[in-house]
Amino acid sequence: MKFFIYLILAVLTFLPVVSCVYHELDSPSLSTETDQSLFEEINETGFEYYQGGITIMPASASPHGNFKLRFNAKALSSLDDSGELPEGGTFVEGSVIVKEVYTNNQISVYAVMKKASSDAAAGNGWLWSEYRPDGGVLISIAAKGSSCISCHDDLPNRNLVRTFDFH
């Protein structure tokens, strides 16, 4: 009988510890990316500008101002011969898209999407963030795109990237 009491006490003691550890490992706040690492990644070489780097005027529904758009090599590999993602297409994992928003001919915001479907911080398969030019975080990846997805999730479906339809 004493054995069963000790066994029950042991289970009751360790069960909360195990369940907390499991919950922590499954927590959406744990990401393989950080805001800082993503900011560093967008400042690396190897990005190519959309349409040769022309400044694009915002669509009427866009919260962003004039901008230039650039893609890393993985994102570029998803584009067709016309330089766009076909309707219904999907960007490959690791694709990074950077929207450089300009105010008075100076970059004022970097709006970033990184395809990371399995990342705990991903919203609809993407990490979403915005930065000031100095790296200050305006929208953290921890927000899971909560202020971005509603505008990006519209038809036609081009894996949540709207530029090809507006510009």
What's the pLDDT at 76? 95
Per-residue pLDDT of 54-109, as tens digits, reads 998 877 666 778 999 999 999 999 999 988 888 888 999 999 999 999 999 999 99
Cβ(146)–Cβ(123) under 8 Å?
Answer: yes
Instruction: Say whether pLDDT at 11 is over 80.
Output: no
DSSP structure string for 53-108: GPPBPPPTT-SS-SEEEEE-HHHHTTS-TTSSPPTT--PPTT-EEEEEEEETTEEE
Provide mean pLDDT across the span 123-137: 95
pTM above 0.85, yes or no: no
The secondary structure element, H or E, covering residue 129 is strand 126-131
What's the pLDDT at 104? 93
